[in-house]
Amino acid sequence: MKFSIVIPTHNRPALLAVAVKYAMQSDHPEFEVIVSDNSSTDSLKALNAEAVRQYVDLPNFKLVSPPRHLSPPEHFEFALDFATGDYIAYLTDKMVLLPHALSAVDAMIGTSGVDIVNWAYAPYYVNDSKNPSGAGLLVEELEYFNGQPKLYEPLAALRFKSSCIIRRDQQLSRDYALGKIIFGCYSRDLVNRIRSKSGTLFGGATHDYSAMVQALSLANKCVMLNAFGVLFISLPLDESIGSLTTVYAQQALNYYKSFTDPEAILSSLLVPGLYASQHNMVAHDYKKFLPIYNYIALFDEANWLAAIEYDLAFVGKIWQDARERKDQLRLFGRYVRLAGLRLTLYRSRLRHRRSALSKRYAESMLARTLSRFTGNTSDAIYQTFKSGSLDEAIRHVLCQPRTYRQV
């Protein structure tokens, strides 16, 4: 069985060097690593090429680049065409693949024809983002120390996620990871069936949710490994695309501008034109792909609008100016009224806290919001480990008990 590890990257040579180093150390006998460089300048592409120079002549390594700068979903789709494996895994350039991960998947799959395999992730908070191999704080969830592979029902996972009964930032890490190709593998057969049905695996407003919605819609058999497969390197607010688009409204708008047709994406959002909400971004992919698979009834619009309202009322939100904030809130309010729904936007809370906003304050609020990536030694479900290096953190994870068995 052959695995394809696809690593799309953009302007982060130091992180790319680390991600590729560990991906190439997989203990599985048959895998390939495909790096797709979507960096914005030739000089950054040269730095990326230098970061992976020692691997370029190896038969199981490919370095490719799109002919022009692409949005993240378009870039993920471009890279997919170079994968030749029976199972395909995507890593962001912030993910460090543990050496046993692919062997664990292989041992578990056997001949059972599993479409999706997911694994757990452990956040690693580096002390210096310019030295991602250096010292940091590893956060582990205790339940994954002795985890056993477990089948899960794809439609049940899709129903939970489509309903938005629990916001993305409040979901347990297992619920958050289920069905995502960036936290596991898809079978080649599943990828082919998806592309035959819709024409694209990643063709939504986001790469991970457009793939996830379609994969859970078509998958027959899915497994959660319930063991760590990657360490997730956590970056400061101003170096993470996800964090930037959560906090800075203009950064979210810039994300949409990276698409070939930005207006087409913006106008097809659940709340058209409302760029200052990640839940509105993600809802686009459910609204686009659920009808194709006849599952649009799973989508709960009221819950998604409540989540969008939360994004707009988030006290750490940083607007370009008062006019931008007013225009975005007006778009949301008009849509809610036309939909005949009643939601209470926290305008007084926004006014009260707006003067207190700062980058430092936003970072602390974001850390609380993205609680799935946090933990402390006093929490019964987490343990933390202060590591002198990323290698030391990986050795710490690998020394924990783990058992593989076929499902």
Contact 36, 82 (CB under 8 A): yes
The H or E element spanning position 305 is helix 301-313
Residues 193 and 293 both lie in one domain:
no
Write down the pTM of the prediction. 0.89
Shared domain for 193 and 260, answered yes or no, is no
Residue 362: pLDDT band by 50, 70, 90 thresholds?
very low
Regarding whether 82 and 200 lie in a shared domain, the answer is yes
Whole-angstrom Cα distance, residue 126 to residue 347?
A: 36
Q: Contact at 8 Å (CB) between 233 and 14?
A: no
| 185/289 same-domain check | no
111's CB contacts (< 8 A; 6+ apart) are: none
The answer to the question of residue 406 being in a domain is no
Domain that includes residue 284, residue range: 245-372
Is pLDDT above 50 for 165?
yes
Question: Is 403 a member of any domain?
Answer: no
Residues 132 and 10 occupy one common structural domain: yes
> What is the dihedral sign for C-alpha 27, 83, 394, 146?
negative
Residues 98, 194 share a domain: yes
Token code pair at residue 326: 């007013």
Same domain, yes or no: 106 and 143: yes
pLDDT band at 113 (very low <50, low <70, confident <90, very high): confident
Rg (CA), the chain: 21
Same domain, 228 and 249: no
260 and 213 housed in the same domain: no
Query: Is 378 contained in some domain?
Result: no
In a domain, 294, yes or no: yes
Q: Give residue 124's pLDDT.
A: 96
Task: Provide the phi-psi class of 61: left if phi over 0, else alpha when psi is between -120 and 50, else beta.
Answer: beta
Asked if the model's pLDDT at residue 111 lies above 80, the reply is: no
Residues in the chain: 407
Between residues 329 and 243, the one the model is more confident about: 329
- Determine how many CB atoms are found less than 10 A away from the CB of residue 146: 12
Residue 176 lies in a domain: yes
**Average pLDDT rounded to a whole number, residues 65-87:** 97
93 belongs to a structural domain: yes
Amino acid found at 247: V
Tens digits of residue pLDDT in 342-353: 666 544 343 334
| CA–CA separation, 273 and 267 (whole Å) | 6
180 Cβ neighbours under 8 A, 6+ residues apart:
118, 208, 211, 212
Do both 153 and 228 map to the same domain?
yes
CATH number for the domain spanning 34: value is 3.90.550.10
d(Cα 311, Cα 276) in Å, to the nearest integer? Answer: 8
Whether residue 263 sits in one domain with residue 227: no
Arithmetic mean of pLDDT, 194-198 = 98
Take residue 116 and report the two structure tokens written for it.
């999706």
Q: Report residue 223's pLDDT band, with 50, 70 and 90 as the boundaries.
A: very high
| Tokens describing residue 37 | 């460089």
pLDDT at 345: 55
Nearest partner of 192 among 209, 214, 207, judged by Cα: 214
Residue 404 falls within a domain, yes or no? no
* Contact by Cβ (8 Å): 201, 213: no
Asked whether residue 291 falls in the same domain as residue 266, the answer is: yes
Q: What is the pLDDT of residues 22-65, one digit of tens each?
A: 999 999 999 999 999 999 899 999 999 999 999 999 999 999 99
Is the model's pLDDT at 371 over the cut of 70?
no
Per-residue pLDDT at 146: 79
* Residue 31 resides in a domain: yes
Work out how many domains the chain is built from and give that number. 2
